[in-house]
Amino acid sequence: MRTLVTGAAGFIGFHLCERLLRDGFTVVGLDNLTPYYDVALKEGRRRVLQERFGFELALIDLADRSRLESFWNEARPEWVFHLAAQAGVRYSIENPHAYVDSNLVGFANVLECCRRSPPQHLIYASSSSVYGANPVPWSEHQPTDHPVSFYAATKKANEAMAHSYAALFGIAATALRFFTIYGEWGRPDMAFFKFADAIMRGAPVELYNDGRSTRDFTYVGDAVEAMVRIASRPPSAAIDHHGSTDPAGSPVAPHRPINIASGRRVALSDFCDMIATALGRTADIRRCGMMPGDVADTWGDVTLLRALTDYVPDTPIHTGIDRFARWYKETYAR
């Protein structure tokens, strides 16, 4: 399969490219190396892919429609993993226009490319944040009418946009609702990375909601495994021989959301302690109130993921943390 990965120098995109290239796929990638966080980290991921596989990614901003269309026409991908986006709940409060440019304008340009040169399957990054104020556990069958951050609102909009293109033009699309992905080469703005940084510097670790919050932490290698399996299972709006439509899919379009989650939740305070232990340090905990845009708990129902892929993320939390801690110490703690 000719496979396109947008956001190829990003956290999940890097791991996905590494997996696909190792498995012998023909992969093309693009990224604009936005300085939302340290570009040196993105350059490091890019360098690993180049040195191990000879992989070169194109430097393209998704908002640049003409450059994206030219690139797409040459690549003509059969699978598209659209992972490029402006991430971060809190940053969306400070700089909402960055989310409009990347998550809305950029995604509209991707959909238009899919319309003109349809892939077999568009697999794109949504987020567990679309569930907003819903009670946990979160299932794909629940409505997503109460986003509590602008980032979540853009991801909800992405799902509506992709659904409309699926209905109008038959573009098979799957929305990946990621649940707190963690692991090596992670993003510095994410909690697990912030915890490690503070612990190694001897600085206080801030735990919001007085440390009572829980998260469904999902190891990045498990997320990639789920994504690769999902790619070969595009949704269909057609009724099958059992008289039913695609599970959790749309009755009018080849579109479905799916949780990329472990199906387990861990208290943030416990997660922080495990990181400290893996780093051989002690965490200085500072308990704080809730942050705007945050939710108290996340927890994904993985029934649909299991049914579609015969797989559920299975890396033990201690194993995933140990791998991250080893990488962090090798990369930063010198």
Name the pairing type of β-strands 284-287 and 204-207. Answer: parallel
Active site residue 151: yes
User: Helices 317-331 and 268-279 meet at what angle, rounded to 10?
Assistant: 50
Largest Cα–Cα distance of the chain, in whole Å?
61
Q: Of the residues 99, 124, 151, 182, which is catalytic?
A: 151
Strands 266-267 and 214-215: antiparallel
The CA distances from residue 329 to 154, 183, 197, 276, 325, in Å, are: 35, 13, 10, 12, 6
- Which residues does residue 39 pair with via DSSP β-bridges, in sequence order? none
Report the distance separating Cα 292 and Cα 68, nearest Å. Answer: 35
Q: How far apart are CA 247 and CA 115, in angstroms?
A: 25
Separation CA 149–CA 89 (nearest Å): 6
Q: Which helix (H) or strand (E) is 139 found in, with range?
A: none
79 CB contacts (<8 Å, ≥6 apart)?
A: 1, 2, 3, 4, 119, 120, 121, 123, 231
CB 10 within 8 A of CB 42: yes
Residues known to be catalytic: 151
